[in-house]
Structure formats: C-alpha cells, structure tokens
Chains A and B, each alone.
Chain A
Amino acid sequence: MADVKCAFIVQRPQYKGETSRLALTHALSYQTVEVLLDDGDTVTPSLCFVGEGVLGISKGQNAMAPYGINSSELHVKNCLLVDLDVYVCKEDLEKYGIPEDQLPDAADMEAEKTINVVPFAEIEKIMEEAKHVLFF
C-alpha cells in the first residue's frame, strides 16, 4: 500500500477552454472520491497554479450572471474546503501585479486550509516528489 502523489499544474487562464477547469475538477475528485491507481494505493493530489494559470483564481469572479456557469473561484474554494493543498507561484503573481489579498479563501465555508503562495522552487519540489505530473 502506497501513497501516490499527483501534481496538477494549471498554466492557462480559466474560462476560454475546458482544460484549466479540468485540473480543478480532477484534483477535487481525487481528494473526495476514492480513486485508486492500484489496489490499496491512496492518492494525494496537489493543485498548483503557475504562469498565466495564476490569472484565473482572483476573487470576485461572477461567471454565473453573464454565462450561467460556476466560477473557478468557487471551484478553488471547494478544493480548500476538502483540504486539498493549493499552491500559487509567488513570482508569477508578482509578474502580473496580482496582490496576495486578491486570492480567495474559503473561510465563509469554514474551510481550514488556505492557498499557499510559494516560490516556483517549491512547486518544482512538489513536481519532483509526485509520481504523476499533469499539466493543464
């Protein structure tokens, strides 16, 4: 029995395509449903936002009103609610001029986890430690 680490790396903004949204839903499903890669294995997903991926997680999103779809912000909050580890690249936030207080938390949902703003070196370490690295 092993703990299999999976790293979901989001490198594209949300909404234009389904790709970046899939990273959130896949990571969320690994955290909440017993998805086994092999019998007896447990899976620990990590969700990381890098590059243009950091653009898609600002708080205050409202995609429901104009387009009738749930916002990516809500997906991120759900990830935090189920104790998924969410990481955002510090250098890329700075590159795009996004302040850390623009990132959402899920305190209103009584989540204990918050987003981890980390240097890219730490995200590299997460990728190194993961058995499977998936880019979206």
Chain B
Amino acid sequence: MSIAENHGALYEHLARLRDSNGEAPDNIFKALGYKYIYVKEGNDLSHLIKAFREVKDSDCAVVVHLNTMKGQGLPVAESNKEAFHFAGPFNPATGAPVHQAGESYNDIFARHVLNLMSTDKDITVLNAGTPGAIAFGPERREAAGKRFVDVGIAEQDCVTMAAGMAKAGQKPLVGLVSTFLQRAYDQLSHDVAVNNLPVAMVDFYCGVYGMNDVTHLGIFDVAMVSNIPNIVMVSATNAEEYLAMIDWAVDEKRFPVVVRTPGGKVVHSDRPVNRDFLRYDVVEEGSDVAIIAEGAMFANAMQAASILKEKGLTPTVINPRILSDVDRETLDKLVDYKMVITVDDGILNGGFGQKVAAYLGSRGPEVVCLGLKNEFMDRYKAMDVLRENGMLPEQIAALAMK
C-alpha cells in the first residue's frame, strides 16, 4: 500500500519478488548491486530477527525486503487499509470515527470536479499518492476512470506529466497537498512556467489552519509559487468563489493557474462571485483604513470591520484573490488612506502583503503587513499563532484604530 493503492511498475516487480519468494529474475535491487534478502513472514519475530542478524555488520549495501501486513492485528484496519492509513479518534471494534466530519473544501472540490468531468472530457485529475487528501476516495477514482491519474508518491513526475498533457491540448488538473507541492518546485518553474503551459493546480491544507506539525506545514506555498513568473496564483475566501476559480483555472489557456484551497471551516456566501480573479474584490467600500486579507483570513478582516463600524469607522475591506501580482488600479485608490493592513494566511516573506507594501511604497498610507513569522512551528494551536502575530479580528481592529 501507499496511502491508497500503489501505482507504478515497481509494484508489479515487488509482487513478482513476493510471489517467487525473492527468486524472480531481473531483481531491481541486484541490478543496482545490493545483496538481497526476502522475508516472507514480515510480521513474524523469529524470521525478522534472523534476517536482521544476517545483515548486521554487513560489508556492503544490502536490501532486506519485508512482506508485512498494513494494519496487522486490528481487523478494521486490515480490511480498510486506505481509511486507516491515518485516522482521527475511532472506535477500535467498529472502526467508526468518534467525531463526525463536517463539510470540507476537499469534498466540495472533488464532487464539483467529478461533475465538471462528466461534461468536459478533456479534464484529467492528477495526484501523487494522496488521493484521499483531495477527497478522491475509491468510489470517486472509479467514477473518474482513466481520467484520474495517481503517479504514486512522485510529485515532480505529477507536475511534469501535467505539463506534457497541457502541451498536448488536454486540461490537466493537478491536486497536491501544500506541503508536498514543495517537492516539485523546479517542475513548477522549469517545466510548467518557463513553457507557460496551461496547467491548473489546486493545493490543499494551506495556511495556518492546515496541518500543524513541523514537517507538514502549509504556510509556505504562496511564497514558493506566487513568485514564479507566468504562474497566476489565486486564493479563495468561500466555497462559491473556490469553485468558480476552479472552473476558470481549468479552462484558462493563457497561463498556468494555482488555486489555493482555503483553510478552516467551509464558508458559504450568497454574494455573487466577482469572476475577474486577476483583480482585487472590494467587498466593502469605506475610507481611511483598508484591510486586504486573503483566503481564510478574509473572515478575520470582515469581523474586524464589524468591530470598527461599531466604533463609527468605515473601513474598506478587500479580498485580493490574486496573490502573484497586485491590482494596481485598486491600490492606486488607496494612496490617500491613512493605513492599509494586509493579512497573509502564511508566512509574511514572499506573501501577497509584501507585494502590496512594495507597490504602495512611501506613496501615502502606512502599510502594515500581518502574517506568520519565518519559522518552522510544531504542533501549534492556530488561535495561539494568530494571536501571537496580531491576526485575530479584535487585534486587526485595534491596529486600525491607531
């Protein structure tokens, strides 16, 4: 198993090795000069100890190939391998999760994209070993058939294969987890962006509400992606806007588009979506102070605005959408403001806020950029981090009142 099922010729090879008790010809490990040992009973202590003793203090490179059972010893895990790769709290007898999952952006994404694919036969979804993370579980993968491609845990291959498909006139839609997108930087830059190929990408588990352990942080994707030439990166603030961005990204042929999935709970809005995603969306017109906040932070900006309005102030609130460039026309209207506050859902360095500050420069308003520090946090509480960085609504409001 990967997280889901394996994909790749290597796995058929490993199957031949298992089926032949390690004797199959064309052994890839031997090809590369390794001594090779197969352990059929990879969950049996005697066999394991014997094999490890055999290779201890070896004088060369050696492979010990263990055949193990994922989930061994917990029946629900043995027979639901994909679901039990990682599980929140659950009932060990039944496997049922303790907490019912609410609505998620991932699920909204997958449901919508499958729908798109039923009428648009040029769309292929590509992923690298994390289909569950983009809510393409077994049933949805089956429904998508040949137009869902899991290349295995190979993000570089995934992005570049999408580039090849875009060159051939198809509409590839790459879905990758934010922290794993990092592994494909040169493929974004050299393969997709230099060639300006119309690959659509959606990244997941982004921002402060994403995964919170040090090696799975989703707070660097904007810095990484939005500063590569030719790539247009946009960030959604609610489900309706998110889906509209995906529709646009899939059809946009002039440049590659990366859509950032908002973090946190799903937000719905019945305000008509402003579909000019290369422009900022001025959601509330005001004066003197403007708050520009992307993605999941937009809600904080709106709440801050409510607080300010109670104090008699009329802030302008802007949803930037585009992170890879600034909307000069909209920013030019802010030059007479006293203060412009930007809020990045990610690190400050390389985020959209710094681009705003650079553009406004010393032309007028005081520009204050809020966002996360340049550090690797580990097992943090989102609320604590937001508070430390002054990004809670009441803190933004307090800042604006200065």
Does A pair with B? no
Task: Tell me the A residues contacting B by CB distance below 8 Å.
Answer: none
